[in-house]
Structure 1
Amino acid sequence: MRTENLLIELGTEELPPKALKSLGEAFATQFEAALTSADLAFTSVNWFAAPRRLAVYVSQLAEGQSDKTVEKRGPAVSAAFDADGNPTKAAQGWARGNGINVEDAERLVTDKGEWLLHKAHVPGQPVAALLEGMLNQAVSKLPIPKPMRWGNNTTQFIRPVHTLAVIYGSEVVNITSLGLTSGRTLQGHRFHGEARFELDHADNYAKALEAQYVIADFQARKDKVREQLESAAATLSLTPDFDEALLEEIASLVEWPVVMQASFDKGFLDVPKEALIYTMKDDQKYVPLLDADGNLSNQFLFVSNIESRDPIQVVSGNEKVIRPRLADAEFFFNSDKKHSLESRLESLDSVLFQKQLGTLKEKSSRIASLSAFIATHIDADATLAQRAGLLAKTDLMTNMVMEFPDVQGVMGKYYALNGGEDTLVAAALYEQYLPRFAGDALPSNSVSAAVALADKLDTLVGIFGIGQLPKGDKDPFALRRAAIGVLRIITELSLPLDLSELVEKAGEVYGDKLTNSEYKTQVVDFVLGRFVALLQDQNVAIDVIQAVSARRPTRPADYLARVNAVAKFKTLDEAEALAAANKRVANILAKQKVDESVADVDSRLLQEEAEIALHSALMEAKEKVAGAIEAQDYPVILSTLATLRNTIDSFFDNVMVMAEDEAIKLNRLALLSLLRQLFLTTADISLLAKS
């Protein structure tokens, strides 16, 4: 069957830059799904996305569906004919629906009976007859939260669509979509290219557009922006400050990227660089430049969508645009410095944290108390932690943060230093928000760690305490992120903190504001649940996690230590047999309703050599691991218990646990309970799966 490459392009007005990449990816995904559903053969589906176009390119698309035979089973033969052998109404209706007579039907014989069968030949449809439905299906499933109408049309899309090109090889496929009839017309660059031009062949799409000053391939355009930024910065011996999100947004704003260099007055560098960088990146999509020490330069880069014949004018225009924004930042900074952070505490009383939980001033007071409590448990300065907690939210009331919300915390640090606060207090005002996302840095000192934990725990306990638990993907207070932050700080900084104690203290600080009596258990379980997800993301085996979770350790650092020990234990040759033995023991004790915490063994009732040996080995192991249990040295505990394998196997091979003598039976159950308790000091080994 003939194959050709297919090009479909929607020529639009400027698409939302932050949505462009996701639209392009979704267009390809949905169209590929439509092709697969239609049983059309193809090699691959690629996507193009630029500010004024979305396109899919299908390689080696078959010109039509293959013919196929469809088997349509009818009624059972016993129900298809009456006693005289005449077709029943059921058989006649089925045959009529398939366009045949009953006597033309074949028979399908299986071990469950015999049925009427019709094998229908279904000819494949040409791709031209299918494309319209597939395109409309793909377009209808694009992630467009707010579609719009234009002109007198009733059709809707994220932006007005002006051209629709559908080209199979060199042929135009005539379809209608989004109020347009397909053709081969494309839009060139708005300023450098032709307003409209015709594409001769699907294979020439990217090349033809490049001749019109449009780089249609999103990744290629993004790479070109990156290369130009890095090259321009290198000539100045500086480093461009951008992340992937900014790079993608810039690439979504231009079709023909041209990187240019501009500058601003050096006097603005007296303003904290974070505020300047924020306004350059977020407001203007400019790229700041840093020196080798991380200091901000007054030179910056921007990406134009044109190759100007008079670039000086373009540079001058962008310098004029950035100046008032930097001047605003300078004014806010200078005016904010006239007031101490402490003087802003009262103004926090005018801002609600949450209706039932009070104002930001009340939250600050709670954070202060909880920070001091945590500090005493991690060898931090409780006085400094309390001070930092009290001032934690005061920078939210400054002009700078009100204008540039993303610099909260950062400006708190600068204003604290300006007001003569301790450097650890100043650092904590910034680091209270760490970690903000996966892989983000952690607080750099114990005072900051105390405040960061207090802030997150206050939110968790408060929101759970009024019964507003996160449901599905709804998490308006970012409780999942807060829980992961708590876990990362405690585990990665090896802090000796217990979640139950922290939640208890946070609840006490709230006083009588909390109405959900179950919040303590719920918060701890919620955070531990995030731990499970966090460990799975780190490729820890689920059975290892389940074995530890069964013991519900509430000290995150201890939880992680158990996980690491059990993961190592699972690699031992003895692990599988010991896991099986533990499972067998657990089942026996459960069936006999034995309290696993009771393990008083009467050595006088031990009769068999194997049970005497097991008791002796258990007592010896118990003595060996006593110190390790106290020190929570789980590798030593598990390696010691691993030596019991042969003794345990011998016990089950040679001893009848359910002895006729009730006293002996109960004594043997107590022996098994002792065995179970020793293993449970680390995890429920019975939950480990076979390797």
Structure 2
Amino acid sequence: MSTILFELGCEELPPKSLKPLRDALQASVTEQLNEADITFDSIKAFAAPRRLAIQIQGISDKQPDRTEQKRGPAIKAAFDAEGNPTRAAMGFANGLGIDASQLTTISTDKGDYVGYEQTIHGQATTELLPAIFQTALDNLPIAKRMRSGASRNEFVRPVQWAVLMQDEAVIPATIQGHETGTQTRGHRFHSPDYHNIAHANDYEQLLAGLKVVADFDKRQMLIKNQVKALADEVNSDAIVPQDLLDEVTALVDFPIALRASFEPRFLQVPQEALISTMQADQKYFCLTDKAGKLQPYFIFITNIESKDPNQIIEGNEKVVRPRLADAEFFFLQDQKQPLFALTESLKNRVFQDKLGTIWEKSERIAKLSAFIATLMQQQGRDISIDETVRAGILSKADLASSLVGEYPELQGIAGTYYARLNNEPEAIAASLEEQYLPKFSGDVLPQTQIGICLALADRLDTLVGIFAIDQAPTGSKDPFSLRRSAIGILRILIEKQLPINLVALVEQAIRGYSDTEGSKIAKMGDTFTQVMTFLNSRYRAMYTEQGVSVDTIQSVQAINPHMPLDFDQRIRAVQAFSQLPQASMLADSNKRVANILAKSATVVADTVDESLLSEPAEQSLYSSVHQAQMAVTPLLENADYTHILQTLASLDEPLTQFFDGVMVNSEDDALKNNRLALLKQVRALFLTVADISELQL
């Protein structure tokens, strides 16, 4: 058992790709070792700006020997009447390099054959490793490979050196065009020369002395701890997005965190703009107070242990100042006119070639938002129709602002700032940012009533318009993010407890295009059908992500409820029902009922003739159904689906006894039709909630 060390030294690797490259390298090597039946105790991957490495400890020296059974021709063809080997047997033996006398008999269900058990000796691990590592490098997820100089070898960056060792010895090989050795290089500035690795176990410790923290996760933890310590010194919290943290970790070998500051006057600018430019352009960690308000500090990570850190701090402060000044300029420039004035330029900005301008979209959003607000008012919600219309008209105004032009991610956010500066009502101002929520899976939803209206209207308008011009999502292509928009619509209606019918919303959204001068929707009926189908198809993606089983979703989709809130209530009821002890039997019984009714050659009556109920089991079922109908009626009025299914669980025993003791397809047509009518009532009861025959319990 020994230790293997592999290191590929390169020019600085792409920082956003370093962590995925590390993980892919380790996964590929692990998979190949397992396939080759080479055992090991542990495997660890390292990744730093100029290197990818793998250290494997407790690895076996060779593959285990294995026995392989070779099967030749049938016994009848292998030996003649005197028992002598035929040419077929001789040829088989010669191919294996053995004498025909060494052949054995293999018995199978198709007869006896000649055969031979051959021992395959395992290869030495050191013979297999060069190909394993080269294959792993070849399979790395690199979008675009490059060549360096005259070399024909391709990699993400020029390769400088390669290490491949078993304990203290080199494993001779050529990897990425470089002869393997035992020499590595340290920090580019602190320790640029080559250094010999005495033993494969010494790798991490040696590099630490050369100012390289090779372990990506350790380096990241060092950064997090240093950033927190510096933030605590000024009683602040650091904003540390994981993507930014990964990128910064990939940029440095030897992380040293320093805190710098900027002029407090810049804090008048929307903090989202300042944070955006400091994170995206400078890779800084911004600081906020405990209430989340930006502070005039930032923390950056340097890769050099400087004798005079103040010079580095002053240099970063000098670099960031013009960027913050640009944001300040754009912010002040936009304030020279009210937010509403910016809407004028939207009349010349195209939303989509076939769907008109952004101004026309704003008008449609305003009308659709007013429609939704009216429905919400009818449900007792406190919302102003006039303010909703005003918010709809202003919803896209900030797209014409200088600030959003420079920082597109501030759409909506900038509008909220400008609306407040213009003394627009707070309900309007807050809604301008909320219209874009949720932005991603699991994101927060709009909190204000007007924000909910805008968020729904914006998504519905885009959804209807794009389907109307035949640009629906296909495969992995979804340029308008319609799948995410559809789930956003469903989440808002469900989580905000809005009992609003999707049919009404989609029809109103289509009407918004039809009401404009020169309708942009040619086939309104087709568009409605396609959009409704698309929205209904999103339930599965949304609920499976929450851990709901597919059969539960299908059981509700089978009855096609058009109200997302109602759909969700049914899902929760079926989930609860699935846990009942009677659920499995009732699901099977419902399948049986559905099959019997489907095979009926005549139209099944809705009512049951009680006088024709001759068998005790059908009388009992009829009585139980009647009681269930009485109990379900008030529950259905309150959409209490969970209690409805709990009530219907009482039909388990009567249904079982019915199928055990009653012949449904009686020769007497009157009896048969009456029994079918009884089963129809049973099925109708369950279909008030879901088609539980879809459940796989």
TM-score w.r.t. the length of structure 1 is 0.95
Name 2:56's counterpart in structure 1. Answer: 58
Give how far 1:95 is off. 4.2
Equivalent of 1:282 in 274, 280, 286: 280
Query: Which residue is 2:343 aligned to?
Result: 345
CA RMSD of aligned residues (A): 2.1
AA paired with 2:68?
A: V
Normalised by the size of structure 2, how large is the TM-score? 0.94
Distance 1:31 1:641, change over 3 A: same
Going from structure 1 to structure 2, the CA distance change for 1:195 and 1:672 (only over 3 Å counts) comes to: same
Equivalent-residue separation in structure 2 for 1:458 and 1:141 (angstroms): 43
1:486 equivalent in structure 2: 489
For the pair 1:417 / 2:420, whether they are aligned, the reply is: yes
Shift of 1:87: 6.3
Residue type of the partner of 1:22?
P
Name the structure 2 match of 1:193.
191
Which amino acid letter does the alignment assign opposite residue 436 of structure 1?
K
* Other-structure match for 1:686: 693
2:662 to 631, 655, 673: 655
Contact 2:464 2:527 in 1 (8 A): yes
> Judging changes above 3 Å, is the alpha-carbon distance between structure 1 residues 593 and 209 closer, same or farther for their aligned structure 2 residues?
farther
Aligned equivalents of 2:570, 2:70: Cα separation in 1 = 58
CA distance in 2, matches of 1:46, 1:23: 13
* 1:543 corresponds to: 551
Which among 599, 611, 621 is matched to residue 604 of structure 1? 611
Taking the aligned partners of 1:333 and 1:326, their CA distance within structure 2 comes to 11
Q: How big is each residue's C-alpha offset from its partner over 1:624-672, in whole Å with a ceiling of 9 and x where there is no partner?
A: 2112222211022112212222222222222211111111101110110
Instruction: Summarize the alignment of residues 563-602 of structure 1 with structure 2, pairs less than 5 Å apart.
Output: 563-593=571-601, 598-602=605-609
Contact 2:185 2:192 in 1 (8 A): yes
CA distance in 1, matches of 2:357, 2:343: 11
- Separation (CA, whole Å) in 1 of partners of 2:148 and 2:396: 46
Deviates more, 1:105-114 or 1:557-566: 105-114
Structure 1 stretch 381-390 or stretch 228-237: which is displaced more?
Answer: 381-390
Distance 1:676 1:524 in 2: 26
Structure 2 contact 104–115 (Cα < 8 Å) conserved: yes
Q: Which residue of 1 aligns with 2:159?
A: 161
Matched-pair contact (CA < 8 Å) for 1:131–1:175: no
Unaligned runs of 5+ in 1: none
CA change 1:658–1:43 in 2 (3 A) is: same
Q: How many residues align?
A: 687
Q: Which amino acid aligns with 1:541?
A: S
Q: Is 1:377–1:496's contact at 8 Å kept on the other side of the alignment? A: no
Aligned: 1:562 with 2:557: no
Tell me the CA shift for residue 513 of structure 1.
2.8
1:671–1:139 CA distance, 2 compared to 1 (3 A): same
- 1:399: which partner in 2? 402
Q: Is the counterpart of residue 473 in structure 1 residue 471 in structure 2?
A: no
SS at match of 1:557: helix
- Work out the CA distance in 2 between the residues paired with 1:92 and 1:381: 96
User: What does 1:234-633 align with in structure 2 at a 5 Å threshold?
Assistant: 234-379=232-377, 380-511=383-514, 512-514=519-521, 518-593=526-601, 598-633=605-640
**Residue in structure 2 matching 1:122, options 112, 120, 123:** 120
1:85-107 Cα offsets, whole Å, 9 max, x none, are 77677656544443345554322
Structure 1 counterpart SS, 2:45: strand
Stretch moving more, 252-261 or 455-464 = 455-464
Deviation at 1:321, TM superposition (A): 0.5
Instruction: State the secondary structure of the residue aligned to 1:233.
Output: helix
Over 3 Å counting, the alpha-carbon distance change for 1:101 and 1:461 in structure 2 is farther
For the residues of structure 2 that align with 1:534 and 1:238, how far apart are their CA atoms? Answer: 37
Map Cα deviations across residues 246-273 of structure 1 (whole Å, 9 max, x no partner): 2111111111111111111111111111
CA contact (8 A) 1:589 1:595 kept: no
* 1:636-651 superposed matches below 5 A: 636-651=643-658
Task: Supply the AA of the counterpart residue of 2:419.
Answer: A
**Residue 671 of structure 1 pairs with residue 669 of structure 2:** no
User: Alpha-carbon deviation of 1:531?
Assistant: 2.2
Worse-superposed segment, 628-637 or 280-289: 628-637
Structure 2, unpaired ranges of 5+: 378-382
Using a 3 Å threshold, how does the CA distance of structure 1 residues 660 and 177 change in structure 2: closer, same or farther? Answer: same
Displacement of 1:316 in angstroms is: 0.5
Cα distance in 1, alignment partners of residues 72 and 369 from structure 2: 75
- What is the CA–CA distance in structure 2 between the aligned matches of 1:684 and 1:595, rounded to whole Å? 20
Amino acid at match of 2:314: S
In the alignment, which of 182, 202, 206 is matched to residue 204 of structure 1?
A: 202
Separation (CA, whole Å) in 1 of partners of 2:89 and 2:685? 70
Structure-2 change in CA distance of 1:444 and 1:103 (3 Å): same
Q: Distance in 2 between matches of 1:336 and 1:484?
A: 34
CA distance in 1, matches of 2:453, 2:172: 66
The alpha carbon displacement at 1:79 in A equals 5.2
Would you say the 8 A contact 1:108–1:115 is kept in 2? yes
Q: Give, in whole Å, the separation in 2 of the partners of 1:339 and 1:96.
A: 94
CA deviations over 1:294-330 (Å, ceiling 9, x no partner)? 2111121111111111111100000000000000000
2:539–2:553: 8 Å Cα contact kept in structure 1? Answer: no
**TM superposition shift of 1:11:** 0.8
CA distance 1:119–1:667, shift in 2 (3 Å): same
Q: Deviations over 1:464-508 (max 9, x none)?
A: 333333233322222222122112211111111222322222222
Q: 1:121 aligns to what SS in structure 2?
A: strand
Letter in 1 for 2:130: E
Q: Does the residue aligned with 1:17 lie in a helix, a strand or coil? A: coil
- Tell me, yes or no, if the aligned pair for 1:167 and 1:183 is still in contact at 8 Å: yes
Q: Deviations for 1:316-358, whole angstroms, at most 9, x for unmatched residues?
A: 0000000000000000000011123322223224333333333
Structure 1 residue aligned with 2:10: 12
CA distance in 2 between counterparts of 1:505 and 1:79 reads 81
Deviation at 1:242, TM superposition (A): 1.6
Structure 1 residue 207: deviation in Å? 0.9
The one-letter amino acid paired with 1:188 is G
Secondary structure of the residue aligned to 1:577 is: helix
- Letter in structure 2 aligned against 1:462: G
Deviations 1:524-579 (A, max 9, x none): 33333332222222222333222222222221111111111111122222222222
Tell me the equivalent position of 1:225.
Answer: 223
Distance in 2 separating the partners of 1:391 and 1:114? 86
Aligned with 2:30: secondary structure?
A: helix
> Structure 2: how far apart are the matches of 1:595 and 1:261?
80
1:11-39 deviation line (CA, Å, top 9, x unaligned): 11111111111011011111112212222
Name the CA distance, whole Å, in 2 between partners of 1:66 and 1:159.
Answer: 37
Amino acid at match of 1:280: M
* AA partner of residue 543 (structure 1): D
